[in-house]
Every structure is written in structure tokens, then in C-alpha cells.
Amino acid sequence: MSDTLRLVEDLIARPSVTPADHGCQDLIAQRLTALGFVAEHLPFGPEDFRVQNLWAVHDGGRPGPTVVFAGHTDVVPPGPLALWNSDPFVPSHREGKLFGRGAADMKTSVAAMVVAAEEFVRAHPTHTGRVAFLITSDEEGPSVDGTVKVVQALRERGERLDCCIVGEPTCVEKLGDMIKNGRRGSLSGKLTVTGVQGHVAYPQLARNPVHEAAPALAQLAATEWDAGNEYFPPTTWQISNIHAGTGATNVIPGELVVDFNFRFSTASTPESLKARVAQVLDRHQLQWRIDWTLGGEPFLTPVGSLVTALSEAIQAETGVRTELSTTGGTSDGRFIAKLCEQVVEFGPVNATIHKVNEHVAVDSVEPLKNIYRRTLETLLA
């Protein structure tokens, strides 16, 4: 068993459901400090929901860029244990696959990054620039006391980050087939439309907000918000929840509440989307209000030193010509991009993430570690 695979198994065996870390970051810090990394633990949040964060740096002593490996040690809950073929927190091997919660998202990436850094530093102790790790236990949860807080702390102390690889599982069918070089932004809204409650037999004495809002919602659903661009698909708008009424069948509701979400490209801004929604609602003469939540702005890393180094490492290790993509949900890359010019995501196949019997192909573990190491060699050796 390789050193990388042993570390993956050790991490899976720790039931680090958000925000618990169960010693994952201590283990990582111990390994890195043994090689000369300076490790700093940065916990944030209330005592009953304490988030563990790790910032660790190895300075090679020669001028050069800071290359960051970013990831998370927390995992989503396993769900009904009876549906798993083996204990989700006991690493298990079947048919060439390693099963366990976090196997794909993202303890394999974290382990591969750690071992890649160990191998690189041993081979190049006086490398140019710095190798750094930014690890959190709050990526799968609210994401308010994790990477975003660490980035704020680093900015306040004047840190400069040049390149960052986030270990999110990005591949579709085989290791190396996709790099995420950006992500769409997320803008959510809770729309409240006010009417007048009344008896269904006397609609002339009431005003039904469902009836009034329906044409506006249809228009919003049919709107083309933008055409996207070279890197991003068009912005989308989706209703995620809708509620009205008291539960009684003979009462016209007095209020309608609609939860919706934009996944938006760099072709739009939060301000422009908010303004266009308001125009539609006003055009339909609704009595309305919206509570907005900006989950993250879009970020994009064009082809440059990081994308090139990672793509060439993938080609050399696997023979796969990778594809650049900005599809999918949000990640902590949206926070890091505010401090780092080049941010990409790359990790194993994502087909089983957050699912029962989550797994990763065993024969992809060492190549993933080698891709990370090759990338460091190109950027810092």
C-alpha cells in the first residue's frame, strides 16, 4: 500500500462530519512540520460549532511564487447506514475501489496533496517560492468560519498568494479529464408577495398573491439573463421552493413566499440581476419584497502558468488531454480568488460524491499525487 493510500484511509477513518475535524488537521500538520513547514491553527466560530482551519507554509529560501494547496477535511453526513455496503467511516476495498465517506470529496485529494508536497520538499528543499496549505473543516457546512475567515486573516497580514489548486473532485469519467478554471456565482433571493387573505367563496373580498405573482414568475423563468461567454454558460434562474396558504382548502392566502437562485456568469453582476428582477415584479404591479443572499461571485482563471503546469502534469502522468470547465456548484475557490490571481480546482472523479457508497478508484490515487507533485516541480523547482 502506498503512503498516499495509507493517509487516505487514515483520514476516512476519522468521522469528520461538518464542522468536526476529529484530528485530521493535526495529523496533516504533524506530517508537514516534520519537513520544515510552519503550521498555524486558525479556529473560528462559536464554541458549539467550532471550525478548525490550518495554514501551513514551507519557504524554500529563494524568491518565487506562493503555490497553495487548498481543501477541506469535513464531510457530509453519511445518511442511512443501512444503505451502505460497509461502514462509511471504515475504509473498505472492493473491486479496485476504496469506499468511505469523503473518499472522493475530498480526503483523497488532501492526502495526495500532502504526500506530493512531502516528496517535492525532500527532493527540492531549497526550492523557489513557497508551498502552502489552506485546509478547513467548514466547506460542506455554512462556510462562514472556514476558508473565508482564513483569507480575511491572510489579507490583513499582507499575505500574497500566486497560484492555488483546490482539491475538489472535478473529473467526470477518468482522472485528468477536467479542470475547473472558474465557477459561476450564486445569488439567492427570498421573494415575498403580499395579497389579502380571505374566503375562497368570496374572492372579490380578497387578493390572491399566487394568482397575481404567477405571470411574473413565468416571465422570470423564461428570461434570458445573458448569453454567457467563452468560459461560462448562460446565467440561470431557478425556483427552489414556493409556499402559500394556511393549510386550509377554503382560505385564499395572504402571502406567497418564493425561494429562488441565480447561478450567474461573469457576463452579469449581482446588481444587474437584482435590478432586472425588480423591473419584472414592478411591471406586474405586485406588492413585494426580496431578501437577497450573495453566496459567491464568479471567478475565472484564464490559461496561464498554473493552468499550463497542471495540464502538462496531467498529460505526462495519464496521457489525458484535459478540458477546462466552469460548470457545477460553488466551492471555496470563490473566497481564495479574492486573494489569489490564479485559482483552479482539480481532483478525482466526482460521480459518487455525497452519495451512499462513495468511493474512489484505487489506481487513481498515486497518479493524482504525482500530478500535484509534477505541478509543483514546474512552478517552483
Taking the C-alpha atoms of residue 51 and residue 74, their distance in angstroms, rounded to an integer, is 10
CB neighbour list of residue 47: distance below 8 Å, 6 or more residues apart: none
Residue 329: the pLDDT is 83
139 is catalytic: yes
In 154-307, at which residue ranges do the beta strands (DSSP E only) sit?
A: 161-166, 178-180, 182-183, 185-194, 198-199, 236-244, 251-252, 255-264, 288-296, 299-300
Set 118, 119, 139, 145: catalytic member: 139
Q: What angle do CA 209, 211, 212 make, to 5 degrees?
A: 60
Catalytic residue among 74, 297, 345, 358: 74
150-194 pLDDT, tens digit each: 999 999 999 999 999 999 999 999 999 999 999 999 999 999 999
Domain with CATH 3.30.70.360 in the chain: 185-296
Q: How far apart are CA 133 and CA 30, in angstroms?
A: 13
pLDDT of residue 328: 85
Is 140 annotated as contributing to ligand binding? yes
Residues of the chain with CATH 3.40.630.10: 3-183+299-380
Within 8 A by CB and 6+ apart from 241, the residues are 257, 258, 259
What CATH number labels 3-183+299-380? Answer: 3.40.630.10
Determine whether the annotation assigns residue 297 to a binding site. no
Asked if the 185-296 domain carries CATH number 2.50.20.10, the reply is: no
Distance CA 357, CA 41 (A): 32
Cα R_g (the chain), whole angstroms? 24
Angle between helices 305-318 and 365-380 (to 10 degrees): 140
* 243 marked among binding-site residues: no
Find out whether 121 and 39 touch, Cβ atoms under 8 Å: no
Identify the segments of the chain with pLDDT beneath 70.
none
Query: Whole-model pTM?
Result: 0.90
Q: What is the pLDDT of residue 135?
A: 98
